[in-house]
Amino acid sequence: MKIFVNKGGRSMKKGFMFKLRRLLKWAVLATIIAVPAGYFLYQSGWLGTDASSVVTQPEQVKGKLVTLRIMKEDYFVDYHNMFSSTVRKFMEFPDYITLDYTIRYLKMELEKSKRGEQILYAIFDNKENKMIGAIEVREKNDYDPGQLGNWVNENYWGGGRYQEALKLMTQTYFKVHPEAKSFNAHVKLWNKRSYFALKKFGFKDAGYYYEGGQPARYILEYRK
């Protein structure tokens, strides 16, 4: 008498084990494929993470006439020597300042940069490889209206250095802050030289800033 139950049970067991081994093989293969595929998706941004969208401030930005270099303590003495009384008048600084004053001021500026409150560069003349000025764009705030701050020593006025520094800074600012549509500059009404230099670059009139109920500064805006 033949008993088919045990034979069928063994057959069913073998079939089950075969399917299980086959399934495990496919699972391992799928895992092997999924790891590099997932890595590719992450790197390509298909998973919604775009690492390339995070842009940091470059160490330097080189042009034909000038180069912008991130401000650091090594430049403090050169900054002080180039920050002449003529420049200080346009920047509304005291007529006389000491090196200690300049160092303390610049250390505060570097702290602002570290906190992400501004982008600050020293301006170097390419021909002489000498620091000739500085330029910054601050984030908007209530206590210090006007985002653009910049100067070039009077011995280097003309020749296109200032205009190129503006160009390099503008390009850098909008790369670091792609969400920004514009930034502004405040210029005292008597400072016609700076006013027309900014207008020449492409800044547009955006009104006046009032002090004591009277217009005291032009408000200029540059849009990308």
State residue 99's pLDDT score: 98
* Burial track 146-172 (b if 16+ CB lie within 10 A, e otherwise): bbbbbbbbeebeeeebbbbbbbbbbeb
**pLDDT at 26 (0 to 100):** 45
Residue 66: its pLDDT value, please? Answer: 99
- What order of strands is seen across the sheet that includes strand 148-152? 60-62, 66-70, 118-125, 130-138, 148-152
Tokens of 88: 């200080």
Pairing of strands 148-152, 118-125: unpaired
**CATH node for 55-223:** 3.40.630.30
- The confidence score (pLDDT) of residue 145 equals 78
pLDDT value of position 54: 55
At 47 the pLDDT is 37
- pLDDT number for residue 21: 59
pLDDT of amino acid 28:
40
Q: Look at residue 35 in the predicted model and tell me its pLDDT.
A: 38
Mean pLDDT of successive 10-residue stretches along the chain, which has 224 residues: 43 51 47 38 38 73 98 98 96 95 98 96 98 97 87 97 98 97 97 97 97 96 96
The pTM assigned to this predicted structure is 0.76
